[in-house]
Amino acid sequence: MSFMTDRKRAVGLGSAKSGTEHHWSMMVSSTALLILMPLFVFTFGYALGKPYEEVMAYYRQPLPALIAALTFAVGFYHFKGGVQVLIEDYVHGVARKLLIIAMICLSISAAAAGVFAVARIAV
């Protein structure tokens, strides 16, 4: 039987300084995705099945290109935050740090590749 106080049990478990900031950023990015995803589905769905030349001409217009680029950027930002929390909750030790670094590199690389692809088409 342990007679430890709540404070004593919490000592050494880490700081609680960034939880609110992370929660707020996830709420903002999920709200942005709530708006962007239907727009992306409709713009992508319009171009789906069309010949190559028509798709290239369609994505050279500013609105479809902007929607696609924003969806990639915000989507992978949201992915990074969600997977980071998942790793922090379930992985411990050095593997946690390595997985978080790998996940950040993967999400930034995927977002950059998506935005670059849209930019190549649009320009």
89-115 burial, b for 16+ CB within 10 Å, e for fewer? Answer: eeeeeeeeeebbeebeeebeeebeebb
Does 3 reside within a domain? Answer: no
CATH number at residue 44: 1.20.1300
Does 118 reside within a domain? Answer: yes
pLDDT in tens, 26-43: 999 999 999 999 999 999
Using the Cα atoms of residue 70, residue 72, residue 78 and residue 84 in order, give the sign of their dihedral.
Answer: negative
Does 10 reside within a domain? Answer: no
The total of structural domains in the chain comes to: 1
CA dist., res. 110 & res. 107, Å (int)? 5
Does 11 reside within a domain? Answer: no
How does residue 57 score in pLDDT terms, banded at 50, 70 and 90?
A: very high
The alpha carbons of the chain give a radius of gyration, in whole angstroms, of 20
Which distant-in-sequence residues (6+ apart) come within 8 Å of 78 by Cβ? 26, 29, 30, 33
Does 4 reside within a domain? Answer: no
Parent domain of 101: 19-122
Does 6 reside within a domain? Answer: no
* pLDDT (average), residues 97-123: 96
- List % helix, strand, coil for the chain (3-state, nearest 5): 80, 0, 20
Does 1 reside within a domain? Answer: no
Instruction: Give the pLDDT score at 105.
Output: 97
Q: pTM value?
A: 0.82
Q: How far apart are the first and last CA of the chain?
A: 69
Helix 19-47 and helix 62-90, axial crossing angle in degrees, nearest 10: 140
Does 2 reside within a domain? Answer: no
